[in-house]
């Protein structure tokens, strides 16, 4: 039976358990000690390759030299690979640790929910695998199998890159594995918005006060759904005619003041309270009921916010002002909202107000 070379044995050195690699042969070579079996195996493999290539004489490292590398570089690379593989964790564990770290750093609940949803699908796809076992090609295959729009694919890719960047800081994987994936080409399309007629129908079918406040503030102040859900009536200053979106409420963690348009004031005045949550109950079922009764068959993503930004930009013609009020980036406004609607439609939209009979009337311009 052929003896193994180099010899690998578990030994005690200075009272500490270690793994020894004895690569001495014919009076040449060396003996080294390592903390882990993986490191020892890596060194032993480099010695076997060295012996094979030298043919009993010397290393032929010309191919390494062509890349400006030395034998020592090759050994370091191999050992680093084995160390990373040995210390890596399963993808599901990495996701949990990253989200916990994000929460500890002050990330919003909404952001963490999206991370958990998207990366949960990734972890399920690569169930049980360590990060070091997942290649760029594997991630590309996962993204290709999502059967989603290019924009949604890029959102998944963004979150995967975030995970791998976090993993690199922990010494679990290389960030470039995710970074090297291809970004999908996205054809810009204008965001879906509600027509003035649809907005009027939706408000008519908002049968209770917090649902009405939710729809009116979303349509005529442009707050995000998550922001409205966190809003307190103390932040709605009808007399001063502005809504204070506190940093703790804002998605961007930046405080902003949103003007209360005349028609929004008319909607909120009869139902406003001195304090307490603007939305007190779960909205989903009641919102869906109002949407269906209003005859709105398809509800575009972020329909109320997109509607406000589009009509407000058309109404003011001032991108900087609209960006400030909505908490949007000005470049995003020009790229996605400019000239989607005309000033006449904007005037109709911001003229929608309640009537005593319960129907929508148009306020005087």
**pLDDT tens column, 94-128:** 999 999 999 999 888 878 999 999 999 999 999 98
Cα separation, 79 vs 83, in Å, equals 6
The whole-number average pLDDT for the span 289-307 is: 90
Checking if the pLDDT of 334 tops 70, the result is no
Checking if the pLDDT of 81 tops 90, the result is no
Looking at residue 252, its pLDDT comes to: 66
Q: Residues with Cβ < 8 Å from 145, sequence gap 6 or more? A: none
Looking at residue 335, its pLDDT comes to: 62
The whole-number average pLDDT for the span 155-165 is: 95
- Which domains are seen in the chain, by residue range? 7-87 (no CATH), 91-179 (1.10.150), 196-362 (1.10.443.10)
Checking if the pLDDT of 60 tops 70, the result is no
Looking at residue 57, its pLDDT comes to: 43
| CA angle at 102 for the pair 100 and 103, rounded to the nearest 5° | 65
Checking if the pLDDT of 84 tops 70, the result is no
> Tokens at residue 37, please?
């079996």
Looking at residue 285, its pLDDT comes to: 93
Looking at residue 277, its pLDDT comes to: 94
| Banded pLDDT at 85 (limits 50, 70, 90) | low
Please provide the average confidence, as pLDDT, over all residues in the chain. 85
Checking if the pLDDT of 278 tops 60, the result is yes
Q: Which residue has the tokens 């970004």?
A: 183
Q: Which residue has the tokens 């180099």?
A: 6
Looking at residue 95, its pLDDT comes to: 95
Cα separation, 220 vs 305, in Å, equals 8
pTM: 0.58
Checking if the pLDDT of 339 tops 70, the result is no
SS (H, E, C) the chain: CCCCCCEEEEEEECCEEEEEEECCECCECCEEEECCHHHHHHHHHHHHHHHHHHCCCCCCCHHHHHCCCCHHHHHHHHHHHHHHHHHCCEHHHHHHHHHHHHHHCCCCHHHHHHHHHHHHHHHHHCCCCEHHHCCHHHHHHHHHCCCCCHHHHHHHHHHHHHHHHHHHHHCCCCCHHHHCCCCCCCCCCCCCCCCHHHHHHHHHCCCCHHHHHHHHHHHHCCCCHHHHHHCEHHHEECCCCEEEECCCCCCCCCCEEEECCHHHHHHHCCCCCCCCECCCCCCHHHHHHHHHHCCCCCCCCCHHHHHHHHHHHHHHCCHHHHHHHHCCCHHHHHHHCCCCCCHHHHHHHCCEEECCCCCEEECCC
Q: Which residue has the tokens 């004489």?
A: 57
Higher pLDDT, 118 or 298: 118
Q: Are 20 and 8 in contact (CB under 8 A)?
A: yes
Q: Are 260 and 238 in contact (CB under 8 A)?
A: yes
Stretch among 10-19, 23-32, 204-213 having the lowest mean pLDDT: 23-32
The bridge status of strand 256-259 relative to strand 242-245 is antiparallel
Three-state DSSP class for residue 259: strand
> Tokens at residue 306, please?
């997109």
Count Cβ atoms below 10 Å from residue 2 Cβ, excluding itself.
4
Q: Which residue has the tokens 């575009």?
A: 300
Three-state DSSP class for residue 9: strand
Three-state DSSP class for residue 360: strand
Checking if the pLDDT of 317 tops 70, the result is yes
Checking if the pLDDT of 253 tops 50, the result is yes
Checking if the pLDDT of 365 tops 50, the result is no
Looking at residue 358, its pLDDT comes to: 55
């Amino acid at each position: 039976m052929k003896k193994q070379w180099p010899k690998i044995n578990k030994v005690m050195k200075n009272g500490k358990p270690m793994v020894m690699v004895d690569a001495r042969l014919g009076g040449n070579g060396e003996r080294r000690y390592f903390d882990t079996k993986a490191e020892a195996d890596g060194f032993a493999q480099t010695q076997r390759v060295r012996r094979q290539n030298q043919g009993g004489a010397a290393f032929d490292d010309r191919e390494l030299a062509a890349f400006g590398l030395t034998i020592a570089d090759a050994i370091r690379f191999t050992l680093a690979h084995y160390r990373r593989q040995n210390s890596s964790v399963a993808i599901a564990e990495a996701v949990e640790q990253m989200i916990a770290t994000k929460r500890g750093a002050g990330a919003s609940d909404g952001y963490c929910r999206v991370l958990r949803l998207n990366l949960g699908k990734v972890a399920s796809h690569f169930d049980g695998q360590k990060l070091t076992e997942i290649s760029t090609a594997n991630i590309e295959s996962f993204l290709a199998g999502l059967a989603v729009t290019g924009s949604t694919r890029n959102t998944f890719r963004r979150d995967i890159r975030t995970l791998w960047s976090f993993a690199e800081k922990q010494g679990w994987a290389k960030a470039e594995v995710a970074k090297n994936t291809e970004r999908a080409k996205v054809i810009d399309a204008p965001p879906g918005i509600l027509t003035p007629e649809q907005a009027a129908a939706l408000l008519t079918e908002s049968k209770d006060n917090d649902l009405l406040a939710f729809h009116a503030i979303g349509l005529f102040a442009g707050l995000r759904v998550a922001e409205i859900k966190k809003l307190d009536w103390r932040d709605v200053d009808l007399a001063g005619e502005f809504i204070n979106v506190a940093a703790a409420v804002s998605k961007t963690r930046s405080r902003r003041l949103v003007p209360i348009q005349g028609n929004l004031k008319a909607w909120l005045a009869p139902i406003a309270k001195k304090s307490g949550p603007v939305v007190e109950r779960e909205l989903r079922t009641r919102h869906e009921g109002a949407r269906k009764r209003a005859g709105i068959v398809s509800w575009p993503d972020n329909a109320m916010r997109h509607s406000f930004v589009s009509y407000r930009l058309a109404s003011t013609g001032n991108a900087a002002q609209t960006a400030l009020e909505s908490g949007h980036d000005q470049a995003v406004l020009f790229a996605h909202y400019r000239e989607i609607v005309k000033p006449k439609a904007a005037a109709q939209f911001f003229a929608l107000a309640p009537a005593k009979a319960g129907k929508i009337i148009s306020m005087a311009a």
